Amino acid sequence: MRMRDHSRKQSGQALLMVTLAAIPMFAMVGLVVDLGYMQYMKKSTQAAADAAALAAAIAFHSSTSGSSFSCGGSIVCQSTPQYCDPSITTASNAIDSGCLYAKQNGFVHSDSQDVTYTAGVSASPPTTVGLSSASYWVTFRVTQVVPQLFSAVISGQTSGMVTSRATAALVGSQDCIYLLNKAAAGALSVGGTASLTSDCGLYVDSNNSSAVGTNGGGTISASEYDIVGGVNTHYALTPSPNTGAPVAPDPLAGLSAPASAPYHCDYKNFKANGNHNTVTLSPGVYCGGINVGNNAYNFQPGTYILVGGGLTTQDSNSSITGSGVTFYNTFGDTNKGTYSYSPIDINANSVVNLSAPTSGTYTGILFFDDRSAPTDNKCTYCDNYGGGSTAVYQGTIYDKNNGITMYGNSAVNAAYTMVVADTLNLIGTSGFNNNYSSLTGGSLLKQVALVE
């Protein structure tokens, strides 16, 4: 009888000890569960913040172009945190795009969530360290109130909070050559004794196994190579190319055209009378283009609209100079008839000294070919940019529909030269420098980067 009572006492004591031990054990398990859920929510809010910041910056980049920006209109600046409108369903600006991405990730402004943004055009976003070259930046903060379950027994706190932040910015691209053709062999081609030397990188969208190629003794030297497809050169490129890169979008897609049809002609089939003339031209609409012939043309600063006819020179007898100029090569209906498209054709031995504007809408844009220009597989509408050993093309040459050929030492002497085209063929020596000190905001070819 006593042994039976003793066993009962031991069992009761064991049950009491187990019960007492279970309380902190369950509390610890609850704490682990709550902390795990907090960590999950932290990753979720960070993913939403990253997506929102990138979406806003990409939307801005696709709709706006230039090297520097000012607040106002579609360019939203906000120095203090502003709530995203939870009711929006379509984006009216870049910030809305970011807010919608946060919403798609499950986060809106509510009793338990907050989504806020700040944005600006200052070179250095206030929440990042070491970044001093951003033209536009946007920061999103995503906050979630998280109920505390088991751990509330210990802490007495019934809820916790997680907040994540991300900043995306437009920064100057490391590349100054963008070739947009998606499939061409030799999208970048350097042949014979030609050479391409670039202080900046190149981006080739072609997925062809020979997207970048050399023929004969042609050489290529650049600071980096980002190539969707492959390389077929007779020597190893240095540094090693980054093949298999994602397709890059047109970096100037947001740049609006200077004019549209119908055009009002200021000049028609412009060509100086006779030869050996020195002629000063003013900005305007040149229907039928500009033919330099055996003359020297000096272009005053401004925008020249070439409606059909393009710009043509002849050998060493032609000279073209101009500072702060943009040429828009287009075609279409005018008040004096309809003009069909013609490419730019500057002879290899012509004297060339042209530089783009350093301010205004077309900062850094030297040549801009109509995005609706015709194209074919015979390169009928390809542009030729030549010039002797002193040739200067300082600015951006933009022809997304057709290829361009550069030859005769073109671009070597410019502080900077950038090309955005379908393809690029090099004949002769071409050098690309990257001194953008004349441009506020640096290179106008921007890329989106998640900087925080």
Tens-digit pLDDT profile for residues 234-293: 899 999 999 999 999 999 998 999 999 899 999 999 999 888 999 999 999 999 999 999
Is 339 a member of any domain? yes
Which among 172, 191, 214 is the end of a domain?
172
pTM: 0.85
User: Above 60 in pLDDT, residue 25?
Assistant: no
| 131 and 218 within one domain | no
User: What is the average pLDDT across 74-78?
Assistant: 90
Residue 280 phi, psi dihedral angles, 5° rounding: -105, 125
| 302 and 166 within one domain | no
Q: What is the mean pLDDT of the chain?
A: 88
User: Above 80 in pLDDT, residue 152?
Assistant: no
pLDDT band at 157 (very low <50, low <70, confident <90, very high): low
Is 147 a member of any domain? yes
Domain count, the chain: 2
Q: Cα–Cα distance between 119 and 344 in angstroms, integer?
A: 40
pLDDT band at 418 (very low <50, low <70, confident <90, very high): very high
So what's the pLDDT on residue 247?
A: 95
User: What is the average pLDDT across 418-440?
Assistant: 91
| 135 and 150 within one domain | yes
DSSP three-state, residue 442: coil
User: Above 60 in pLDDT, residue 170?
Assistant: yes
Which among 172, 206, 234 is the end of a domain?
172
Residue 55 phi, psi dihedral angles, 5° rounding: -60, -45
User: What is the average pLDDT across 164-170?
Assistant: 94
So what's the pLDDT on residue 130?
A: 72
User: Above 90 in pLDDT, residue 5?
Assistant: no
Torsion of CA 422, 427, 433, 439, to 10 degrees: -50
Return the H-helix or E-strand segment holding 152. Answer: helix 152-155
| 203 and 350 within one domain | yes
Secondary structure (DSSP) of 230-261: -EE-SS--SSPPEETPPPPP-TTTTPPPS--S
User: Above 80 in pLDDT, residue 132?
Assistant: no
So what's the pLDDT on residue 74?
A: 83
Is 82 a member of any domain? yes
| 263 and 135 within one domain | no
Is 102 a member of any domain? yes
With 0-12 / 13-18 / 19 or more C-beta atoms within 10 angstroms meaning exposed / middle / buried, residue 245 is middle
User: Domain range for residue 253?
Assistant: 175-443
Is 5 a member of any domain? no
| 296 and 242 within one domain | yes
| 308 and 211 within one domain | yes
Percent of the chain with pLDDT over 70: 88
